[in-house]
Structure 1
Amino acid sequence: MRRAAVALLLLIFLSLVSVFAGIAVGSANIGIKDVLNTLTGKGKGDIKDYIILNVRLPRTIGAYFGGAALALSGLLLQTYFRNPLAGPYVLGISSAASLGVALYVLSQIGIGYYGLVGSALIGSIAAIIIILSIATKVRSSVSLLIIGLMLSFVFGAVEKILITFAESEAVHQFVLWTFGSFSGITLDDLPVIISTTLSTFVLSVLLAKPLNALIMGEEYAKSMGVNVRFVRFMIILVSSFITALVTAFAGIVAFVGLATPHITRLILKTSDHRVLIPAVALCGATITVVCDIVSRTIVAPVEIPVSVATSLFGAPIVISLVIRRRRIV
């Protein structure tokens, strides 16, 4: 437990440093003193204050809580499916969100930010309803995983049909959304993102003991008195909803949910979800904020998609885990 406590304290410190770095670092030259003055209400009301409060702060906080949410989703699904390659997008939620945006953008209804968010949410919620209805009828977690993947293929096929007949400008706008970015998040969006992520965290903590039992399999969990059917419903509901929310506001952010639980397990060397849940949330938040900083500074003033940074960070880790054949779930 001492190792876990030290690791959690270190992750808290690193996550706070990453948030401050996210606010301070960018293409515009803003000093640390300016950031501190603005955040403490001592700013001059100039352009620097505007950039800090209206551009970098909401983007960084959005990336922080969005990364934490995706990481939690990945942990829940990897534990339930007992599959190290399970992630937030295996149940077809992101594909449904992508299809919703495709219908909105490629049909040239519009390309406004909140139109994108709304259409992504509608698509995701439709997928959640389908998945939950299937989950009540399918007992096997493997069957549910296969069905989720098949739904992804179906949604993706319809999306490609729409792309085939769409105007090139609309296709370009849609493709940019699929790359993922936290740049569109505003101060008005933060209460929704923060409250949803914190609620998810609390629910995940409450599920910690059942999750520990599920590591040994559903039969073992049942023998320990776990209501597997209810826990499965809650895992799917929570992980699907937070994936839908983050995808709606930021597009598809790759590898955070898939790689972060593995990284955290390697750091802590434990499968105890009472420790893993807060650690995974902090690790996911830190990684996402750092990748967001990289995406907007490495070739500034041009911004690369955040999924490029997260993929380049996450893919080598997953590859190394597969090659080394570690026990990661």
Structure 2
Amino acid sequence: MRPLITIFSFLLITGLLSLVLFAYGDAGFTLSNEVVLWQLRFPKIIVAIMAGGMLASSGLLLQVFFQNPLAGPDLLGINAGSCLGVAIAIMGASFIPAGLVEISQPVMAMLGALAVFLILGFLVQKNLSRISLLILGLLIANFTSSFISILVSMTPSLQVKNFLVWSMGSFQGLTIVELPLFVTLASIGLVSMLFLPKKLNQFIIGENYAKSMGVNVRTFKIILILICSYLVAIVTAYCGPIGFIGIIAPHIARSFIKRSDISLVMPAVFLVGSILALFTELILIITSPYSLTTNSILGLIGAPLIAIYLYKERRML
């Protein structure tokens, strides 16, 4: 329990630092800065906390599913499906009724993820191996990338620019008006995870053990993929494709917890993912004159951490 309190304390400190850096300007704390703080900055902090935690949680579920420590949210092509949905929404905006433009991105992102999920769910029902699912995920990612390239070549430059800006990834795209819907959608996915720890603990030991404990493994796999698809789709729709958090957060959390019990690991993973997202926001605030992007910072943080992990585990590989 103490490690969880420590991680939560880090989250509070990082969040408060983000608020303070935006609340204070050259003239100190003013009323206008207070308005900016609650109307503009506060939503971005909430989005970073929720999105970072959701990506980290989906990464944990996929690492358990594949029994692979380097599995991440983009592994099954779910992220790619969401990106294709958003690409169609942005670059086909002229064909979307005016009243539906605001909700087109999240709806299309979820439809893209759902399409990939239906394919994966069908193949899981057919007992397709984990390796085959990984290969399929790569094929889906390549297919969607090619399709997006075709859309880019056929779309006016302004819409292409909007898509490219979105594709860089950011936790700063939501306003205070959009925040309640995002939090509601995110909460649905996170609450569904509360029913998983017991079965996940059994699943980690082995599929045969889980079956002996009464778990319908085939159905459980579909539920895991469905929850991962939903979490990734929501984040991708509102924040763009965010990398690395889903891969590295579970490892950092486990190094703190030093336990394998999912009921302890899961909240720790969520908190670590939130901290990583907020820490990225802090760096963006400090380096604001240089116009860095969220994914560029996460890449600089995530790639070395993964390399260190591989080096430490080299005897086990």
| TM-score, normalisation: structure 1 | 0.85
Alpha-carbon displacement from aligned partner over 1:253-283 (angstroms, at most 9, x marks no partner): 1101111001111222222211100100111
Mapped to 2, the partners of 1:328 and 1:60 lie a distance apart of 39
| Unmatched runs of 5 consecutive residues or more in structure 1 | 35-43
Q: How does 1:1-329 map to 2 (within 5 A)?
A: 5-26=1-22, 29=25, 34=29, 46-107=31-92, 109=94, 114-298=103-287, 300-325=288-313
Describe the shift of the 1:199–1:115 C-alpha distance in structure 2 as closer, same or farther (beyond 3 A). closer
- Distance in 2 (CA, whole Å) between partners of 1:142 and 1:31 is 58
Distance apart, 1:302 and its partner CA:
4.7
Counterparts in 2 of 1:204 and 1:108: CA distance versus 1, 3 Å: closer
C-alpha displacement at 1:49, in angstroms?
2.5
For residues 16 and 195 of structure 2, the distance between their equivalents in structure 1, rounded to whole angstroms, comes to: 30
Q: 1:187 to 1:281 in 2, by over 3 A?
A: same
Which of 266-275 and 160-169 deviates more? 160-169
SS in 2 for 1:25: helix
The 1:30–1:126 alpha-carbon spacing in structure 2 relative to 1, beyond 3 Å, is farther
Once residues 222 and 260 of structure 2 are traced to their aligned partners in structure 1, the CA distance between those partners, rounded to angstroms, is 22
Of the structure 1 ranges 270-279 and 117-126, higher mean CA displacement relative to structure 2 is found in 117-126
Alpha-carbon distance in 1 for matches of 2:129, 2:172: 40
- Structure 1 stretch displaced more, 184-193 or 55-64: 184-193
What is the deviation of 1:80?
Answer: 0.8
Letter in 2 for 1:317: L
- Aligned partners of 2:258 and 2:8: how far apart in 1? 18
The Cα shift of 1:48 comes to 1.4
Mapped partners of 2:7, 2:305: distance in 1 = 19
Alpha-carbon separation, structure 1, partners of 2:121 and 2:316: 27
Q: Which amino acid aligns with 2:142?
A: F
In structure 2, give the amino acid aligned to 1:10.
T
Aligned equivalents of 2:127 and 2:32: distance in 1?
A: 56
What is the CA distance between 1:115 and its match in structure 2? 4.3
d(CA) in 2 for partners of 1:296 and 1:176?
A: 18
How many residue pairs end up in the alignment? 313
CA contact (8 A) 1:65 1:193 kept: no
Deviation at 1:310, TM superposition (A): 1.5
Is there any run of 5+ residues in structure 2 with no aligned partner, and where? Answer: none
How much is the aligned-residue C-alpha RMSD, in angstroms? 2.7
Give the stretch that moved more between structures: 210-219 or 282-291. 210-219
Task: Give the conservation status (yes or no) of the 8 Å contact 1:19–1:61.
Answer: no
1:230 and 1:148 mapped to 2: Cα distance?
A: 20
Secondary structure at 2:68 match in 1? coil
The alpha-carbon deviation at position 296 of structure 1 amounts to 3.3
Which stretch shifts more, 204-213 or 166-175?
166-175
- Contact (CA 8 Å) 2:174, 2:238: kept in 1 or not? yes
Q: Is 1:297–1:303's contact at 8 Å kept on the other side of the alignment? A: no
Cα offset, 1:28, TM superposition: 6.2
1:322 positional shift: 1.2
- Partners in 2 of 1:324 and 1:84 — Cα distance? 13
SS in 2 for 1:267: helix
* Amino-acid identity (%): 33
